[in-house]
A = this chain, B = another copy of it.
Amino acid sequence: MDIESTDYRKEVTQRLQQAGVSPTQQRMEIAQILFARPQHLSAEQVLNIVNAQGPVVSKATVYNTLGLFARKGLVREVIVDPTKVFYDSNTSEHHHFYNVDTGNLTDIEPHSLKLESMPTLPDGTQAEGVDVIIRVRHSS
């Protein structure tokens, strides 16, 4: 998973193309960071990482790109904090702990939490996703 490797770049390129997103330079920069491993990053964090060694992608493009990736299913928006959105590069079904003290978001092991049943949805609607957030704070 070397972020520099040619193989990894090819893999990321394919992933974008499969989602119907043309792999421009800036999108590749952002995608390579996100897809390097499953992680939760805010737009600001992505902006900082991608521009760590000099300006590469503008703020507007980071926001636009993350929004695009989310619409295309490449990342998942996690809404736990009214002040910012997190983007999760793990799109498989799983849930989250949110540390309200630190703002840290971590995965819940998929097998350690199950919903007992799916309730009847409101009339005329279909489920789009289920989010479970367990809010935690430093004990005592």
B121, A97: Cβ atoms under 8 Å?
yes
Interface of A is mostly: strand
B115, A115: Cβ atoms under 8 Å?
yes
**Given A113-B115, A116-B115, A129 contacting B139 (CB threshold 8 A):** no
A135, B124: Cβ atoms under 8 Å?
no
**Given A82-B82, A116-B116, A119-B113, A128 contacting B135 (CB threshold 8 A):** yes
Which chain A residues numbered 6 to 58 have a C-beta less than 8 Å away from chain B?
none
Rounded to whole angstroms, the CA-CA distance of A134 and B85 in the bound complex is 18
A116, B113: Cβ atoms under 8 Å?
yes
Which chain A residues numbered 75 to 126 have a C-beta less than 8 Å away from chain B?
77, 79-82, 84-85, 97, 99-100, 106, 108-109, 112-122, 124-126
Rounded to whole angstroms, the CA-CA distance of A112 and B117 in the bound complex is 7
Instruction: Determine if A60 is an interface residue (Cβ-Cβ < 8 Å).
Output: no
Residues of chain B contacted by A126 (CB below 8 angstroms): 136-140
Q: Residue of B at shortest CB range from A83?
A: B82
**Given A79-B80, A81-B79, A85-B82, A129 contacting B135 (CB threshold 8 A):** yes
B131, A133: Cβ atoms under 8 Å?
yes
B133, A121: Cβ atoms under 8 Å?
no
Rounded to whole angstroms, the CA-CA distance of A106 and B125 in the bound complex is 12
**Given A81-B79, A82-B82, A113-B116, A121 contacting B134 (CB threshold 8 A):** yes
